[in-house]
Homo-oligomer: A and B are copies of this chain.
Amino acid sequence: MDDDGLSRVFAALADPTRRAILARLAEGPAPVTELGRPFDMTAQAISKHLKVLERAGLVSRGRQGQWRPCRLEVAPLDRASGWIEHHRAAWEDSLGRLEQEIVRIQEGRGHAHD
């Protein structure tokens, strides 16, 4: 995978187990074993998923005795969502321009270059 930040975030989101972990963390911090409980998967696998999420900046981990509580970090989510929204908006705009273009043509002025 590519090592730029946005790519890491999207790649981290591209796995249902990791999305479920994030969904759980959105309800509040939790230690690793609790995060892994719903899944039919070894603790090591969960640990790997958490490392992916951590490298993407989506979770941060504390240390509290023998537990390593995980917290959701929203900043990368914002950047991801921001990228999507930005380009969706650009698409809407280009649709708008196309509409105007059609209107201009229908008004008999041909394709615009004013």
Q: Could you list which residues of chain A lie within 8 angstroms of chain B, going by C-beta atoms?
A: 1-2, 4, 6-8, 10-11, 13-16, 19, 22-23, 25-28, 72, 74, 77-78, 80-81, 83-85, 87-88, 90-91, 94, 98
Contact = CB atoms under 8 A, between A and B. Distances in A.
A15 B2 contact: yes
A72 B84 contact: no
Number of chain copies forming the complex: 2
24 contacts: A1-B14, A7-B14, A7-B16, A7-B19, A8-B14, A10-B11, A10-B14, A11-B11, A11-B14, A13-B83, A14-B14, A19-B83, A23-B87, A26-B90, A26-B91, A27-B90, A27-B94, A28-B98, A74-B88, A74-B91, A77-B84, A81-B84, A81-B88, A84-B84
Contacts of A7: 14-16, 19
A72 B85 contact: no
A65 to B, nearest CB: 20
Contact of A81 (B2, B11, B85): B85
